[in-house]
Amino acid sequence: MEPFERYRSIIDDFDVFLAACRRPLGNAVRINTIKASVERTLAALDEEGVGYEQADWNPRVLTLETDSPGSTWTSFHGFTHGQEEVSAVPAVVLDPQPGERVWDSCAAPGGKATQLAALMDDRGTVVANDNNLGRISALRFNAERLGATSLAVTNADARNYSLNRFDFDAFDRTLVDAPCSCEGTIRKNPDALDNWSEGHISSVAGIQKGIIRRAIQATREGGTVVYSTCTFAPEENEAVVQHALETESCRVVDFDLGLEHAPGLTEWDGEPYDDSLEKAARIYPHQNDTGGFFVAKLEVTAE
């Protein structure tokens, strides 16, 4: 937990935060409404004798009273998909509509991409891209298991992603759930900090800046880009969005979130950020008994 000391000044109830980080995480799943309604899924869990608790902010998110959520009847039939509660936030904030063209730029293993398809009633196009060929098979498997027929899979570097393969020239909405230092997954992966270094944060932030810029360029004027990470480091969060504000045509916009959260930072380590970054959300483990996450919503503006 030593690396987290650098965040003591920005996290309220820091010792409560640290204690939460040391507690293991419950087993959360998302109800896949492509295959079954919330009511039908809950009835199936009742019949199987699996206890559950619905998230207050999202009826499609459940915490299951089982150590193996992936071996339930509902999971086998694609009614549920194992997904950490805060991981369900970015797709909800992006709010894709049926019939739209949506890009998930860093999509494997597919939890958020299939969630986007479900939010769109599986109508429209979700382009699920990942640059890691080894993870593409998991992405495809999950898309098939969950019945997401609106989903197309591509294998490319999101930083210089080409739209030439499509018969359209921009997406309506884009999700950048960026590769990151994963500090917020500490409750799920106790070894998340084993290879932690400020050098790693710096190098991954460079990649993130390239991806968010391409996401904005590939999204139509008036369209939406959501940027998210599962880390606390401002260098990978506010600083990346700040870079986008300075280099691309976009603005940070408000969004409603039914989870307790802290606002984004407007300053870190002597570096000022745009005041609009307060509209971003920092979700800490001790606030809602979840993992940690950062989410910012951007609107693409005229050049």
Binding site for S-adenosyl-L-methionine, residues? Answer: 106-112, 130, 157, 177
Q: Residue 19: which residues within 8 A CB-CB, separation 6 or more?
A: 286
Contact 282, 294 (CB under 8 A): yes
How far apart CA 232 and CA 282 sit, in angstroms, is 8
Burial of 98 (0-12, 13-18, 19+ CB in 10 A): exposed
Look up residue 117 and give its two tokens: 């398809």
> Which position among 21, 180, 182, 230 bears the catalytic label?
230
Binding residue ranges = 106-112, 130, 157, 177
Look up residue 287 and give its two tokens: 């606030």
Contact 110, 55 (CB under 8 A): no
Torsion of CA 284, 288, 289, 293, to 10 degrees: -30
Q: What angle is formed at CA 199 by the lines to CA 198 and CA 203, rounded to 5 degrees? A: 120
How far apart CA 1 and CA 130 sit, in angstroms, is 30
Burial of 67 (0-12, 13-18, 19+ CB in 10 A): exposed
Side-chain half-sphere exposure of 148, counting CA atoms within 13 A: 29
Active site residue 182: no
SS3 217: helix
Beta strand pairing call for 250-253 and 267-268: unpaired
What residues are annotated to the active site? 230
